[in-house]
C-alpha cells in the first residue's frame, strides 16, 4: 500500500480505464493489444492497463499503479509489458501526463516500412509540428537485454539527437513495431491524439501512392496551422 | 442583437446543427474538425459551427450568426476559424446557400498530392461537371496575412481564371489542405455532397492505381450524366 | 391498372423493397443511387425502385411496375432512370428473375479503369465462371440517343460476341459507369451477389497491386469451385 | 448415434456455434462462407459448421459431428465442404484443438497473389513465428480428385518440407484460395487468431506498398516478441 491519496488513485484509474476503452472502441487495437497510462499530479506514480486482460472485462480497479522505476505499488495484476517504455517517456519530459501505445494499422505500417510520416498537409500540421519521426532499430543487444526499457531509450535518443520537443512532436514510430504518443492534458486527450495519428498515417499513405514526389507541405503553411491551434497566439477554439 | 427575425435564426441554427451532426456521423471528420454553414434568405448573415466545440456537445443555440464581413452578430462563442473562407464563397455566388468543409481522408489526400480529381466515370459526372479542381498554393505572404480570407481568395481566383461555374462545379480542393463544397439547396444537401465528394475521391484513387493512364471518361458521357440530373432537361427523380 | 394479380404485385413490391434496403444497408450505394428490380412469374412486367427517392423513405407501394417496353403499369412515380437497361437484360435471358445496379466503390473503380475483373481465386470462382467482363464504351451516338436502352444493348452485345452465358456470368461492368448483376432466384439473392461482386472486386484490386503479373487462377481450379456450388454435381450446401 | 458423451457434444456444439458467429460478426466472411470446427477431448470426433446454412439461422444443434475419416456421426445436415481439409490438419498434430477457414479479404489477396506474408514487425511476431507460408498450387489431378482432402495434403506437405511447427506457425495460405488457421486452445481462440491473421495481412500489404524492399523485421526482434508471449519464459499477460 504505497499510494497515500486513494481518491486520486481511484480518479486516475477511472480516467485510464475510460481512455483504454476509447482506444479499443475506436479500433486502434484488437484483442488485448495497446495500452494507456496517466501519471499522478506529483509524478510519484502512474496508472497503466494490466497486461493481457480483455478490454471488455477490465474494471477500473484492475488498472495498475506503478512508480517510475517500474515497481508495482498497488495491484495483484501485472502491468502492461510496455511499462518500462512508459516510465522513461514520463521521466524524459515532466509536462507529459498521459501515454498511449496502439497497433493502429496505418501507423504500424509506416513503422514496419521504417519511414517517418511526412507532414503533407494541414491535418497533420494542426497536430504535429513537422514529420512524425521513426526511431532507429534497436541493436540485438538492446533487444536481448531490457527490451522495453531500451525501447524507451531509443525513443529518447531519437528526440535528443534530432532536438525534438516532446510537446511539439507528441508521438513517434518505433521502427518495426508501432506508434507511441502522449499528451500534456489527459489520458482521453492522448487517445484522441492516437486517433489523429492513425488518420494522418492513412492520409499520408494515400498521398504518397498518388504522388510519390510529395515530401512535405510548405513549411510556412505547417507553422501557420500549428500555431493556429497551439501556443500563445492560438486562435482556434474558445477562450478558456 | 443584430438579427431581427429570431424565428429564421432558430430555424437556420437547427438546420446547421443537423447538418454538422450528419457530417460527423458520416465520418467526414474526427474530433472537432470540419464545419457547415448556411445563409439567411436575404443573405445578410449566415450561421456556422462554433470553433473547437465537440460535435457531441453542440446545441443548436451554439451555432454562431456572422455577417459577410465576419462580424459575430449573435453568440458568445467564436465561430469556426474558417469563417472568412465561407464569407468569400457566399459573396462569390449569390446562389450558394450552404457550405461544408471536411477532413475526409481520400479528398484530403488528393489535396495533399496537389492534384485535381479527374472525372473518371458516371458517379462523378452525376454530381460534378468536369474535374474537381485543386487550387494553387497560397503564397507565404498570403499564409502569414489574413490566412482564412486568403484561402477564400485562392478559391475564387481559381474559379475565375478557369471560368468555372460554382453550381456546375460545387466543390474544390485547397492544395495541401482539403475539400470545400457547397449547395444551392440546403445545409443537409451540402453535407450529402461532401459524402459524394469523398466517395468520388476514393473511387478515383482506386482507378488511378489500377490504370494510371486513365485521365477522364468520355466527355459526351460526362455531359449526358450531368444533364440527366441537372438543368432543364433533367429526367432523374420525380416531378417537382 | 394493368396488373391483374394484385397479390403477386404486392408480394413482388415487398421483395423488391426488402432487396433495395439490403443494398443500401450493405453500403453498396449512397443517397438514392443504385436500384433493384424483380420480374413477375409470367414475365409480363417487373417491379423496380422509383427514381431519386431516399431509401429511408421508400414504402413497398412506391415500387413501380413496368412492362418490358418500359411502360409504367401501376404507379404515379417515375421508375429508376436505368429501367430500359433492366428491360433489355430481362428480355435477353428468360431465366433472369432479378437485376441489381450499384455504385459499390471497388466495382465502379474497375469499370472506370476499363478493365474486366480477372478470376484470381476460389472466392471469385465460387460465384462467377471466368472473368467478370467489362463492356466496350458506348459510342457518342449511343450516349446521345436512347442512352439507358443502349447501355443494355452494349451489355447484350458483349455477351453475344464473347459467347457468355448469363447464368454462369451473372454480372458485368459497364465501362466508365459501374456494375450490374442478376439472379435466377430472387431479388435478395441478386443483392447478395452484388455484395459478393464488390468483395471480389476488392480482393482483385489488392491482388493486382501485390502481384501485377497474376492474371488468373488455374482454370481447372476455377472449374472445380464453380461446379462445387453450381450445376448438377454441386455438393456445397444441403440437399434441397 | 455414435457419440456417447452427449454433454461433451452439446458443449462443443455451443462453442463451435459461438466461434462461427464471432467469425461472421467480425466480417471475416460474407454470406455462408467460412467455417470453424473444434475437436473432442479424446480426438475421436470433431464438430463443424454445416454447409451453406446462413450464420443468422444456425442453431447449436446444427453443428455437425464427424470423425477423422469424414463420416458424419450425428446430424441430418451436410458438414462444411471443407471437412476433409480439417480432418487432415487435426491428424497432422494432436495439439491442434480448433480450426478456422475464412475469406477475409487481405489474407485471400495474399493467397491469390501466391505470396507468403513476411514477418514485417512485432504485431506479426507476437503471433506467428516467421512468415505465414503460402502453399504450392494443387496439381490438376489433385483438384479433379479428392479436392478437399488434397488441399489438406498440400498444407501438410508444405509444413513437412519446410520443417514448420504447427503451433509456432498456426496458419497458412492455400494458394489461389485463402487462409486456414488453428489453435491449441479453443474455437474462440482460433477465430481471434483469424482476426489477427487478417490484421497482419492488411499491415503487410500497406507496408510493402510503401517500401517494397522491406522483407522481414530483424529476426532477433521477431524471436524476442514471439517469446514474450509464447513458451516457458513468456512474461506477457497474467500468471495462470
Q: Directed axis angle between helix A187-210 and helix B105-113, to 10°? A: 50
Q: How far is A114 from chain D (nearest CA, A)?
A: 8
The catalytic position among B62, B67, B126, B184 is B126
Q: What does the pLDDT average to over B109-137? A: 98
The residue among B85, B109, B134 with the most chain A CBs within 10 A of its CB, best to mutate, is B109
| Residue whose entry in the numeric block shows the C-alpha cell 445496379 | C101
Angle at the Cα of B192 (from B210 to B160), degrees rounded to 5?
80
| Secondary structure letter of residue C44 according to DSSP | S
Q: What is the dihedral of CA D186, D191, D193, D194, to 10 degrees?
A: 150
Nearest to B114 among A122, A196, A214 (CB): A214
Give the model's pLDDT for residue B22: 98
**Percent of chain B at pLDDT exceeding 90:** 96
Contact B31, B13 (CB under 8 A): no
Q: Which of residues 4-43 of B touch A (CB under 8 A)?
A: 30-33
B108 has a chain A CB within 8 A of its CB: yes
Contact A204, D209 (CB under 8 A): no
| Coil, strand or helix at A202 | helix
Q: Which of residues 81-100 of B touch A (CB under 8 A)?
A: 81
Measured from the Cβ of residue B71, the count of other Cβ atoms closer than 10 Å reads 13
The grid coordinates listed for B232 are 432543364
Closest residue in B to A189 (Cα) is: B31
List all residues 6 or more positions away from C59 whose beta carbon is below 8 Å from its beta carbon.
C17
**Percent of chain D at pLDDT exceeding 90:** 96
**Contact flag D122-A51 (C-beta cutoff 8 Å):** no
Residues A112-155: tens digit of each pLDDT: 999 999 999 999 999 999 999 999 999 999 999 999 999 999 99
B206 neighbourhood in chain C, CB within 8 Å: 105-106, 109, 205
A107 neighbourhood in chain D, CB within 8 Å: none
**Considering just the CA atoms, what is the radius of gyration of chain C in Å?**
18
Residues A210-239: tens digit of each pLDDT: 999 999 999 999 999 999 999 888 999 997
Closest residue in A to B102 (Cα) is: A123
Q: What is the rounded CA–CA span in Å between residue B142 and residue B162? A: 21
Nearest to A51 among D121, D210, D238 (CB): D238
Q: What does the pLDDT average to over B186-201? A: 98
Residues A162-191: tens digit of each pLDDT: 999 999 999 999 999 999 999 999 999 999
Say how many Å lie between the first and final Cα of chain C, rounded: 38
The catalytic position among D126, D136, D206, D226 is D126
Whether pLDDT at B31 is above 80:
yes
**How far lies C144's CA from each of C88, C151, C158, C174, in Å?**
18, 11, 20, 17
Q: With b meaning 16 or more CB within 10 Å and e meaning fewer, what string describes D46-79? A: bbbbbbbbebeebebebbbbbbbebebbbbebbb
List all residues 6 or more positions away from A54 whose beta carbon is below 8 Å from its beta carbon.
A31, A32
- Per the rule left: phi > 0, alpha: psi between -120 and 50, beta: everything else, C102 is beta
**Contact flag B53-A202 (C-beta cutoff 8 Å):** no
Q: Which of residues 47-66 of A touch D (CB under 8 A)?
A: 50-53
Which partners does chain B have (≥3 C-beta pairs < 8 Å)? A, C
| Secondary structure letter of residue C26 according to DSSP | T
List all residues 6 or more positions away from A138 whose beta carbon is below 8 Å from its beta carbon.
A147, A150, A151, A154, D218, D221
- Name the strand (E) or helix (H) holding D123: helix D122-125
Residues B39-81: tens digit of each pLDDT: 999 999 999 999 999 999 999 999 999 999 999 997 999 999 9
Is B184 considered catalytic here? no
Length of chain D: 240
C178 neighbourhood in chain B, CB within 8 Å: 121-123
Q: What is the rounded CA–CA span in Å between residue A36 and residue D47? A: 40
Q: How far is B52 from chain A (nearest CA, A)?
A: 4
Whether pLDDT at C144 is above 60:
yes
Nearest to D122 among A50, A51, A176 (CB): A176
Residues C145-201: tens digit of each pLDDT: 999 999 999 999 999 999 999 999 999 999 999 999 999 999 999 999 999 999 999
**Contact flag B109-A206 (C-beta cutoff 8 Å):** yes
Residues D145-193: tens digit of each pLDDT: 999 999 999 999 999 999 999 999 999 999 999 999 999 999 999 999 9
Contact B155, C146 (CB under 8 A): no
If you average pLDDT over every residue of chain D, what do you get?
Answer: 97
Q: What does the pLDDT average to over B166-183? A: 98
**Percent of chain C at pLDDT exceeding 90:** 96
Whether pLDDT at B153 is above 90:
yes
- Name the strand (E) or helix (H) holding C36: strand C35-39
**Contact flag A176-D204 (C-beta cutoff 8 Å):** no
Give the model's pLDDT for residue C1: 58
Q: What is the rounded CA–CA span in Å between residue B196 and residue B202? A: 10
Give the model's pLDDT for residue A231: 83
Residues of C marked as catalytic: 126, 236
Contact D154, C98 (CB under 8 A): no
Sign of the CA dihedral with B83 first, then B88, B91, and B94 last? negative
Whether pLDDT at B1 is above 60:
no
SS (H, E, C) D135-157: CCCCCHHHHHCCHHHHHHHHHHH
Q: Name which of B101, B123, B94, B63 is nearest B177 in CA terms.
A: B101
Q: What does the pLDDT average to over D87-103? A: 98
Give the model's pLDDT for residue D2: 84
Q: With b meaning 16 or more CB within 10 Å and e meaning fewer, what string describes B127-159? A: bbbbbbbbbebbeeebbeeebbebbbbbbbebb
| Coil, strand or helix at D22 | helix
Bridge partner residues of B180 (DSSP): B101, B172
- Name the strand (E) or helix (H) holding D6: helix D6-25
Q: Where are the alpha helices (DSSP H) in chain B?
A: 6-25, 83-92, 105-113, 122-125, 140-144, 147-161, 187-210, 219-229
- pTM for this entry: 0.98
**Contact flag D120-A176 (C-beta cutoff 8 Å):** yes
Q: Where are the alpha helices (DSSP H) in chain C?
A: 6-25, 83-92, 105-113, 122-125, 140-144, 147-161, 187-210, 219-229
Q: How far is D143 from chain A (nearest CA, A)?
A: 36
**Contact flag B52-A207 (C-beta cutoff 8 Å):** no
The grid coordinates listed for D56 are 443468422
Whether pLDDT at D99 is above 60:
yes
Length of chain A: 240
A160-167 own/partner pairs: CB under 8 Å, 24+ apart: A162/A133, A164/A130, A164/A133, A165/A129, A166/A89, A166/A92, A166/A93, A166/A95, A166/A96, A167/A93, A167/A95
Contact C146, C70 (CB under 8 A): no
Structural domains in chain B, CATH included, are 6-230 (3.40.225.10)
Q: What does the pLDDT average to over B75-92? A: 97
Is B24 considered catalytic here? no
Q: Directed axis angle between helix D187-210 and helix A187-210, to 10°? A: 50
| Coil, strand or helix at D79 | strand
Q: Which of residues 163-202 of D touch C (CB under 8 A)?
A: 176-178
Residues C13-42: tens digit of each pLDDT: 999 999 999 999 999 999 999 999 999 999
The grid coordinates listed for A101 are 501505445
Q: How far is B26 from chain C (nearest CA, A)?
A: 11
If you average pLDDT over every residue of chain A, what do you get?
Answer: 97
Whether pLDDT at D239 is above 80:
no
Which partners does chain A have (≥3 C-beta pairs < 8 Å)? B, D
**Contact flag C81-B235 (C-beta cutoff 8 Å):** yes
Which partners does chain D have (≥3 C-beta pairs < 8 Å)? A, C
Amino acid at each position: 500500500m504505497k499510494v497515500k491519496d486513494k481518491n486520486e488513485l481511484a480518479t486516475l484509474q477511472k480516467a485510464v480505464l475510460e481512455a483504454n476503452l476509447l482506444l479499443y472502441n475506436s479500433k486502434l487495437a484488437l484483442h488485448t493489444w495497446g495500452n494507456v497510462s496517466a501519471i499522478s499530479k506529483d509524478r510519484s506514480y502512474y496508472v497503466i492497463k494490466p497486461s493481457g486482460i480483455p478490454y471488455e472485462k477490465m474494471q477500473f480497479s484492475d488498472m495498475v499503479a506503478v512508480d517510475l522505476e517500474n515497481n508495482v505499488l498497488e495491484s495483484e495484476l501485472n502491468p502492461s509489458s510496455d511499462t518500462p517504455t512508459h516510465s522513461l517517456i514520463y521521466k524524459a519530459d515532466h509536462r507529459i501526463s498521459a501515454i498511449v501505445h496502439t497497433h493502429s494499422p496505418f501507423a504500424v505500417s509506416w513503422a514496419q516500412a521504417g519511414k517517418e510520416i511526412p507532414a503533407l498537409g494541414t491535418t497533420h500540421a494542426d497536430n504535429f509540428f513537422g514529420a512524425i519521426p521513426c526511431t532507429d532499430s534497436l541493436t540485438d543487444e538492446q533487444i536481448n537485454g531490457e527490451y522495453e526499457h531500451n525501447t524507451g531509450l531509443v525513443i529518447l535518443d531519437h528526440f535528443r539527437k534530432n532536438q525534438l520537443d516532446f510537446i511539439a512532436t507528441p508521438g513517434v514510430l518505433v521502427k518495426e513495431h508501432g506508434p507511441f504518443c502522449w499528451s500534456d492534458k489527459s489520458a482521453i486527450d492522448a487517445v484522441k491524439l492516437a486517433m489523429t495519428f492513425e488518420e494522418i498515417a492513412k492520409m499520408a499513405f494515400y498521398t504518397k501512392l498518388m504522388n510519390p514526389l510529395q515530401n512535405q507541405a510548405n513549411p510556412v503553411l505547417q507553422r501557420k496551422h500549428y500555431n493556429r491551434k497551439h501556443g500563445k497566439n492560438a486562435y482556434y477554439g474558445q477562450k478558456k
